[in-house]
Amino acid sequence: MVAVIAKLNALVAALNEAKQNIHPDFVKKGIQKMNDLETGTMTEVKELLGSNIRVEALKKLEAETYTQFYSERKPAAAKDSN
């Protein structure tokens, strides 16, 4: 599982960097490169996890985790009620 999380974190960082480096004249090409990177990484993640069911379970867990995190998060400017 650690290898999967590391791959996904590396994917997010690589996608962010790729997004920053897209030249305005080549947006479609840049987006295609990002899609290819994501597809390749998700293929590797599926191999590590062993099945599509586990990949879908991981996606569901990620969505629930982020939803919970952001629903409990206060705005940076909010004062503590303590």
Tokens describing residue 66: 């982020």
Mean pLDDT of 57-81: 82
**What confidence score (pLDDT) does residue 81 get?**
54
Mean pLDDT of 70-82: 72
Tens-digit pLDDT profile for residues 16-58: 999 999 999 999 999 999 999 999 999 999 999 999 899 999 9
**What confidence score (pLDDT) does residue 54 get?**
93
How many domains, in total, are found in the chain? 1
Question: Which domain covers residue 62, as residue numbers?
Answer: 2-72
Q: Is residue 49 part of a domain?
A: yes
Q: What is the pTM of this model?
A: 0.72
**What confidence score (pLDDT) does residue 56 get?**
93
Q: Is residue 81 part of a domain?
A: no
Q: Is residue 80 part of a domain?
A: no
The answer to whether 4 and 58 have CB atoms below 8 angstroms apart is yes
Q: Report which of 39, 42, 21 is spatially closest to residue 30, judged by C-alpha positions.
A: 21
Q: Report which of 78, 69, 4 is spatially closest to residue 41, judged by C-alpha positions.
A: 4
Helix intervals (H) in the chain: 2-20, 27-49, 52-72
Alpha-carbon gap, residue 74 to 20, rounded angstroms: 28
